[in-house]
């Protein structure tokens, strides 16, 4: 059995017994990245030297008999939306192409404290806006199961690198489904924790009230391991929950007796791919065979989730992204060219005696803002900034933003009611398996519908998990489990039960075996 | 008022709260540091940095709000006010929009000289917000780059918005003075205008009585007023300017958008600035990075108990308990809490509030001004000064001798008794003074003649001679004795 076949938890045992070292694991990851990432495009930055140096330090400490953190030398990939001190943090955007933060996100600090080896930064849709990772300003990520398909998004790189065997542990972020949907498309397990469970400090904000950092891995066990390392209260994040994290890994093998699963009626409506529907139904059969009671449940307002999401998320984004203005850091337009152009415009207007044109001409500062933002942001980011700015503007605020907040509360109440009757909600992650690269890029509205089953969890602040439950034409299909706020332990135990009974999570894309 | 209009003024005052660190991060708020040295990822707007509220700022805000008789909602939230400017690195300012931390209060203003009726100026609201950075523009030409100092970015401010209840430039100044005094007593801000810890904007227009009823002129926001005096001058100018403009154009409120004008202190005029957009044009929305602030009745009561004596109550006390006039109590309270405390100690130890008031105003305050020092650094303690005043009160020393004693105490330290001894001041026996007068009159027949002729001025010369012979004589008594003796003089 090679290192490549082991889960992170199994690798921990190998490390502890001395049968392998962190350097060996890191080298294995780098070798897999070298072999396949030119095709997959999962990474934006691989910190080869830094990772090997960290692995050596951890090995030396282990040799010296020192106690190590929970991750004890395991390589971890981090989505490029989390600040890493001195390392590029681009958010998949030209705007931050050369940005190197002077500080670490809390999650990154915790990874270091846990003795993880940070292997690199993974690709993503620009500012986490998108469902296919095609909105990255630098590269598209290809689905390791079928390279002409997308890996999903926005954490496409984070899911693809796990699927392609480049790394076992990966950190993503989820604002409307950005961990769960790529996890489903790439056939890995991904968790969006409850809002407030993992610190957002140092997570480049997309929509602050929806964003949540979470782990991706092949198994629920590995997800539990990684969640345990990063979850918990952070005084630097006012929205972080002031309650201790659970012992996710220690509890994971405890089966849930009398588990009550609620099937969300609205998730089986029009638009659901038959293959996905079949796999989800089969998964329910598995759960029944494990003693779970399955009943149908309704989230009556879930049909408004996408609409609500696409008011609230862009509104927050329009404000969160105002800081990228070319003044203090990040992309700035070519000033000389901009000033030259402005002067020639002024000269033309003066020559024509166009008083009004002159009065309306930008100041150099305003032109610098406009140009920097026009050139630094991609089309999807601009689309959402415009949507959000509109929704927050005078005269529309009540009709859009305020109304969306009210619907959001109703969606949350739906969940509260549902969780009075069942322990977990179960359903599909995404209406279809992975789609082809380029298939939806000209159709932003269809792209927004990929969040159909996932956005509600962010609006309600509950936890959601995606795990592999089938395949269609060689493409993985994901099952979504949702739990009440802070019931991640329950979610992970339920996922683990399923993975003990099935082997969908153990399937590897053909690409992997070619190494 | 002789003008054919009523002036209507509302003031927006921003005061910097005296916290050690900023409103949402731990950077220092110290004034005068090297540019951009008191910054962190949060206050320079780096991606991912998150705000955490400094509770001390809220508590200082609460003190000020209670001092201004404002209602305190038990729940208040933070909003983002969005605009683009290089000294605002996040692209929004964290402020409070629809649920401010306090609302509906008042501040009583008064004029001891009676130039306006004592009355309450309504306070619409006082809310917390963070300051922006400072832009340092190249004033000489448009070529050089502007510079940005972000040290001030995130400094806690309390914005105190008055109702448009102020009716004259003089009232505006009185309101500001009283507000500053109150905040000084509450210790919530140093209110230093030079360092920008107190900034004033005014909204002003006129209500003009015309043949067809009252007309309101367009509201103008006046900025860049760097002293209370400047506020008074700017408002005076602005009233005249608006009246002239109305006569010329007939434009009333609503005919033109609200205008912002800057005060040019040197030229003594206001000039037009950018058009002020209506507040709803700044997109505001609740800051999702911050949680709402809640406060309990108990906490509010605790802060209320900690406020201490405030200016209005102290003036009352000085008048009722120590018999001071409106004017005197105003002067003493106007000097701030430290001087009031000095006065109270002195008045209590002396048992004569008016005497204490005279000495505090004429001697203590003058010395403080001349030396440019604070009461805390005044060399003579209230109990020491009280010892001296008691001597004056019982007639052991006359006022001018008392001053000499005080001067000596200020220069050399020590008690009043020690100073008296050092200066060789001794009580002169009345018989001794009679004898001295008799000798001097005998030697100066012209003085005797003058006094007999009712030219009492001549006594002055005699007093001078007496003091030369014995500096301890009591001038008043010498005068009395001399006149009496002269009238009985038998030449």
Please tell me if residue A319 touches chain B, with a CB cutoff of 8 Å.
yes
As a whole number of angstroms, the distance between CA A467 and CA A492 comes to 10
pLDDT above 50: residue B279: no
Q: How far is B131 from chain A (nearest CA, A)?
A: 16
- b/e code A264-295 from CB counts within 10 Å (16+ = b): bebbbeeebeebbbebbeebbebbeebebebe
Note the pLDDT tens digit of each residue in B61-79.
999 999 999 999 999 999 9
Q: Is the peptide bond before B256 cis (omega within 30 degrees of 0)?
A: no
3-class DSSP state of A296: strand
pLDDT above 90: residue B48: yes
Average pLDDT over residues B302-319: 95
Please tell me if residue A278 touches chain B, with a CB cutoff of 8 Å.
no
A79 is catalytic: yes
Tell me the sheet residues that pair with B201: B12
Tokens of residue A229, six digits: 């390392």
Residue B260's H or E segment, with its range, is: strand B259-264
Q: CA B129 from chain center: how many Å?
A: 24
Average pLDDT over residues A262-278: 92
Residue B126 pLDDT grade (very low, low, confident, very high; cuts 50, 70, 90):
very high
- b/e code A179-190 from CB counts within 10 Å (16+ = b): bbbbbbbbbbbb
pLDDT above 90: residue B473: no
Per-residue model confidence (pLDDT) at position A447: 80
pLDDT above 80: residue A220: yes
DSSP, res A394: T
Note the pLDDT tens digit of each residue in B145-186.
789 999 999 999 999 999 999 999 999 999 999 999 999 999
Residue that is written with structure tokens 């006039």 in the block = B325
3-class DSSP state of B99: coil
User: Nearest residue on chain B to A89, judged by CA atoms?
Assistant: B47
Note the pLDDT tens digit of each residue in B218-269.
999 999 999 999 999 999 999 999 999 999 998 999 898 888 999 999 999 9
- Measured torsion, CA atoms of residues B74, B78, B79, B85, in degrees rounded to the nearest 10: 140
Average pLDDT over residues A210-233: 98
Domain boundaries defined on chain B:
5-294, 309-422, 430-488
Per-residue model confidence (pLDDT) at position A514: 53
Note the pLDDT tens digit of each residue in A285-294.
999 999 999 9
Note the pLDDT tens digit of each residue in A144-172.
999 999 999 999 999 999 999 999 999 99
Residue A124's CB is within 10 A of a number of other CB atoms, namely 33
As a whole number of angstroms, the distance between CA B10 and CA B30 comes to 30
Average pLDDT over residues A170-198: 98
Tokens of residue A250, six digits: 């220690």
Contact B288 A365 (CB under 8 A): no
Residue A39 pLDDT grade (very low, low, confident, very high; cuts 50, 70, 90):
very high
Q: Which of A154, A155, A194, A315 is catalytic?
A: A154
CB contacts, 8 Å: B90 with chain A: 322-323
The 3-class secondary structure across A467-507, one letter per residue, is: EEEEEECCEEEEEEEEECCCCHHHHHHHHHHHHHHCCHHHC
As a whole number of angstroms, the distance between CA B418 and CA B250 comes to 74
User: Which of A237, A325, A393 lies at the smallest CB-CB distance from B50?
Assistant: A237
DSSP-derived secondary structure for B413-482: -S-HHHHHHHTT--PPPHHHHHHHHHHHHHH-HHHHHHHHTT-TTHHHHHHHHHHHH-TTS-HHHHHHHH
Per-residue model confidence (pLDDT) at position B276: 41
The average confidence (pLDDT) of chain B is: 91
User: Nearest residue on chain B to A370, judged by CA atoms?
Assistant: B84
CB contacts, 8 Å: A208 with chain B: 288-289
3-class DSSP state of B199: strand
As a whole number of angstroms, the distance between CA A47 and CA A59 comes to 18
Q: Which of A178, A240, A456, A466 is catalytic?
A: A178
Tell me the sheet residues that pair with A46: A120
Q: What angle do CA A107, B45, B146 make, to 5 degrees?
A: 155
Contact yes or no for A450/A430 (Cβ under 8 A): yes
Per DSSP bridges, beta strands A142-143 and B269-275 are unpaired
Cα distances (Å, whole numbers) of residue A385 to A152, A312, A393: 22, 11, 12
Contact B86 A105 (CB under 8 A): no
User: Which of A203, A209, A323 lies at the smallest CB-CB distance from B45?
Assistant: A323
- b/e code B175-186 from CB counts within 10 Å (16+ = b): bbebbbbbbbbb
Residue B139 pLDDT grade (very low, low, confident, very high; cuts 50, 70, 90):
low
Q: How far is A327 from chain B (nearest CA, A)?
A: 6
Please name which of A279, A296, A205 lies closest in space to residue B50, comparing C-alpha atoms.
A205
Residue B454 pLDDT grade (very low, low, confident, very high; cuts 50, 70, 90):
confident
Residue B280 pLDDT grade (very low, low, confident, very high; cuts 50, 70, 90):
very low
Q: What are the phi and psi torsion angles at A68 (to 5°)?
A: -115, 160
Please name which of B196, B187, B248 lies closest in space to residue B224, comparing C-alpha atoms.
B196
Contact A322 B84 (CB under 8 A): yes
As a whole number of angstroms, the distance between CA B246 and CA B242 comes to 6
Q: How far is B143 from chain A (nearest CA, A)?
A: 11
As a whole number of angstroms, the distance between CA A167 and CA A34 comes to 12
As a whole number of angstroms, the distance between CA A458 and CA A308 comes to 11
Contact A208 B285 (CB under 8 A): no
Please name which of B105, B272, B171, B80 lies closest in space to residue A321, comparing C-alpha atoms.
B80
Cα distances (Å, whole numbers) of residue A510 to A163, A474, A515: 10, 10, 10
pLDDT above 70: residue B275: no
Q: Which of A22, A79, A173, A192 is catalytic?
A: A79
Please name which of A107, A66, A116, A113 lies closest in space to residue A222, comparing C-alpha atoms.
A116
User: Which of B48, B53, B283 lies at the smallest CB-CB distance from A238?
Assistant: B53
As a whole number of angstroms, the distance between CA A312 and CA A175 comes to 11
Please name which of B19, B47, B37, B220 lies closest in space to residue B131, comparing C-alpha atoms.
B19
Sorted by sequence, the CB contacts under 8 Å of residue A285 that are 6+ apart come out as none
Please name which of A400, A454, A404, A396 lies closest in space to residue A425, comparing C-alpha atoms.
A454
Tell me the sheet residues that pair with A216: A170, A190
Average pLDDT over residues A486-511: 97
User: Which of B47, B86, B288 lies at the smallest CB-CB distance from A327?
Assistant: B86
Average pLDDT over residues A370-384: 97
pLDDT above 90: residue B423: no
Provide the residue count of chain B: 491
pLDDT above 70: residue B26: yes
CB contacts, 8 Å: B86 with chain A: 327-328, 365
As a whole number of angstroms, the distance between CA B458 and CA A30 comes to 112
A/B interface, count of CB pairs below 8 Å? 99
As a whole number of angstroms, the distance between CA B144 and CA B141 comes to 7
CB contacts, 8 Å: B50 with chain A: 200-201, 236-238
Contact B84 A328 (CB under 8 A): no
Average pLDDT over residues A242-268: 94
Residue B7 pLDDT grade (very low, low, confident, very high; cuts 50, 70, 90):
very high
Contact yes or no for B104/B66 (Cβ under 8 A): no
Tokens of residue A397, six digits: 């605020």
Please name which of A499, A471, A508 lies closest in space to residue A279, comparing C-alpha atoms.
A471
3-class DSSP state of B300: helix
Contact yes or no for A429/A478 (Cβ under 8 A): yes
As a whole number of angstroms, the distance between CA A373 and CA A415 comes to 39
What is the ipTM metric for this complex? 0.95
Across A31-35, A276-280, A444-448, B22-26, least confident range? A444-448
Contact yes or no for A7/A80 (Cβ under 8 A): no
Average pLDDT over residues A130-144: 97
All structural domains of chain A, each given as residue ranges with its CATH number in brackets, are 3-303+410-513 (3.90.1300.10), 306-400 (no CATH)
User: Which of A239, A319, A369 lies at the smallest CB-CB distance from B82?
Assistant: A319
The average confidence (pLDDT) of chain A is: 96
Per-residue model confidence (pLDDT) at position A448: 80
A155 is catalytic: no
Q: How far is B162 from chain A (nearest CA, A)?
A: 25
DSSP-derived secondary structure for A65-105: T----TTTT-EEEEETTB--TTS---TT-GGGTT---SS--
Please give the model's pTM, rounded to 2 decimal places: 0.91
A154 is catalytic: yes
pLDDT above 70: residue A196: yes
Taking an 8 Å Cβ-Cβ cutoff, which residues of chain B contact chain A?
Answer: 41, 44-53, 80, 82, 84, 86, 89-92, 148, 278, 280-281, 283-285, 288-291
DSSP tally for chain B: helices H, then strands E: 16, 16
């Amino acid at each position: 059995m090679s290192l490549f076949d082991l889960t992170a938890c199994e690798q921990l045992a190998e490390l502890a017994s001395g049968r392998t070292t962190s350097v060996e694991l890191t080298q294995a990851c780098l070798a897999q990245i070298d072999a396949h990432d030119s095709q997959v495009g999962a990474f934006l930055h691989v910190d080869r030297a830094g990772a090997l140096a960290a692995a050596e330090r951890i090995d030396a400490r282990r040799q010296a008999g020192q106690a190590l953190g929970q991750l004890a030398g395991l390589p971890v990939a981090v989505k490029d939306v989390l600040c890493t001190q001195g390392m590029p943090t681009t958010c998949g955007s030209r705007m931050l192409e050369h940005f190197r933060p002077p500080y670490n996100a809390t999650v990154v600090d915790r990874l270091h404290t846990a003795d993880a080896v940070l292997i690199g930064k993974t690709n993503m849709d620009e500012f986490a806006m998108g469902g296919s990772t095609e909105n990255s300003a630098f590269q598209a990520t290809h689905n390791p199961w079928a390279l002409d398909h997308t890996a999903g998004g926005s954490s496409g790189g984070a899911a693809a690198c796990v699927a392609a065997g480049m790394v076992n542990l990966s950190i993503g972020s989820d604002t409307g489904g950005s961990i769960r949907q790529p996890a489903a498309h790439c056939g890995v397990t991904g968790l969006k924790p409850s809002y407030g469970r993992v610190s957002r400090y140092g997570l480049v904000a997309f929509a602050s009230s929806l964003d949540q950092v979470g782990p991706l891995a092949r198994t629920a066990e590995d997800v539990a391991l990684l969640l345990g390392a990063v979850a918990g209260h952070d005084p630097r994040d006012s929205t972080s929950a002031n309650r201790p994290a659970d012992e996710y890994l220690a509890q994971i093998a405890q089966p849930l007796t009398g588990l009550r699963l609620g099937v969300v009626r609205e998730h089986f409506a029009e638009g659901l791919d038959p293959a996905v529907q079949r796999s989800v139904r089969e998964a329910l059969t598995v759960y029944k065979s494990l003693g779970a009671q399955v009943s149908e449940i309704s989230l009556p307002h879930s049909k408004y989730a996408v609409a609500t999401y696409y008011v609230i998320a862009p509104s927050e984004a329009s404000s969160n992204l105002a800081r990228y203005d070319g003044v203090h850091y990040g992309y700035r337009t070519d000033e000389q060219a901009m000033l030259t152009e402005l002067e020639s415009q002024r000269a033309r207007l003066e020559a024509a005696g166009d008083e009004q044109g002159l009065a309306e001409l930008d100041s150099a500062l305003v032109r610098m803002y406009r140009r920097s933002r026009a050139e630094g942001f991609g089309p999807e980011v601009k689309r959402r900034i415009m949507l959000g700015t509109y929704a927050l503007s005078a005269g529309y605020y009540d009709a859009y933003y305020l109304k969306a907040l009210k619907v959001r509360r109703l969606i949350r109440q739906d969940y509260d009611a549902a969780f009075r009757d069942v322990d977990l909600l179960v359903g599909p992650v995404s209406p279809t398996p992975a789609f082809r690269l380029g298939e939806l890029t000209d159709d932003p509205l269809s792209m927004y519908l990929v969040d159909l089953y996932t956005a509600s969890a962010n609006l309600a602040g509950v936890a959601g998990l995606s795990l592999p439950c089938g395949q269609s034409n060689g493409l993985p299909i994901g099952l979504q489990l949702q739990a009440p706020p802070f019931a991640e332990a329950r979610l992970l135990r339920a996922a683990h039960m399923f993975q003990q009974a099935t082997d969908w999570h153990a399937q590897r894309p053909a690409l992997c075996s070619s190494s | 008022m002789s003008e054919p209009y009523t002036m209507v003024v509302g003031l927006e005052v921003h005061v910097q709260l005296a916290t050690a660190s900023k409103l949402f991060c731990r950077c220092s708020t110290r004034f005068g540091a090297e540019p951009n040295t008191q910054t962190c990822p949060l206050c320079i707007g780096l991606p991912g940095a998150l705000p955490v509220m400094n509770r001390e700022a809220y508590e200082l805000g609460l003190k000020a709000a209670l001092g201004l008789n404002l209602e305190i909602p038990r729940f208040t939230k933070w909003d983002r006010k969005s605009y683009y400017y290089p000294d605002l690195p996040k692209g929004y300012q964290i402020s409070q929009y629809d649920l401010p931390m306090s609302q509906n209060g008042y501040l009583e203003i008064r004029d001891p000289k009676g130039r306006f009726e004592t009355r309450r100026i309504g306070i619409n609201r006082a809310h917390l917000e963070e300051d922006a950075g400072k832009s340092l523009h190249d004033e000489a030409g448009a070529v050089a780059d502007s510079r940005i100092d972000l040290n001030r970015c995130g400094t806690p401010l309390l914005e105190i918005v008055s109702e448009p209840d102020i009716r004259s430039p003089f009232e505006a100044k009185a309101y500001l003075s009283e507000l500053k005094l109150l905040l000084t007593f509450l210790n919530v801000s140093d209110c230093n205008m030079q360092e920008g810890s107190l900034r004033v904007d005014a909204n002003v227009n006129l209500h003009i009585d015309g043949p067809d009823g009252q007309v309101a002129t367009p509201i103008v926001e006046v900025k860049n007023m760097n002293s209370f005096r400047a506020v008074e001058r700017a408002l005076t100018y602005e009233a005249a300017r608006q009246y002239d403009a109305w006569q010329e154009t007939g434009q009333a409120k609503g005919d033109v958008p609200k205008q912002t004008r800057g005060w040019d202190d040197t030229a003594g005029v206001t000039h037009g600035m950018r058009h002020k957009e209506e507040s709803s044009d700044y997109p505001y929305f609740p800051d999702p990075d911050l949680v709402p602030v809640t406060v309990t009745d108990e906490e509010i009561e605790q802060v209320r108990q900690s406020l201490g004596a405030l200016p209005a109550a102290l003036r009352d006390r000085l008048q009722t308990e120590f018999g001071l006039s409106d004017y005197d109590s105003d002067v003493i309270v106007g000097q701030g809490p430290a001087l009031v405390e000095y006065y109270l100690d002195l008045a209590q130890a002396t048992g004569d509030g008016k005497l204490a008031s005279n000495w505090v105003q004429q001697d203590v305050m003058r010395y403080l001004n001349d030396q440019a020092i604070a009461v805390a650094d005044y060399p003579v303690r209230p109990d020491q000064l009280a010892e001296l005043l008691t001597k004056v009160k019982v007639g052991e020393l006359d006022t001018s001798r008392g001053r000499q004693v005080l001067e000596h105490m200020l220069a050399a330290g020590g008690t009043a008794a020690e100073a008296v001894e050092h200066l060789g001041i001794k009580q002169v026996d009345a018989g001794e003074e009679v004898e001295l007068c008799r000798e001097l009159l005998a030697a100066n027949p012209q003085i005797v003649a003058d006094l007999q002729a009712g030219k009492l001025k001549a006594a002055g010369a005699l007093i001078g001679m007496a003091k030369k012979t014995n500096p301890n004589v009591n001038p008043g008594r010498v005068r009395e004795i001399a006149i009496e003796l002269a009238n009985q003089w038998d030449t």
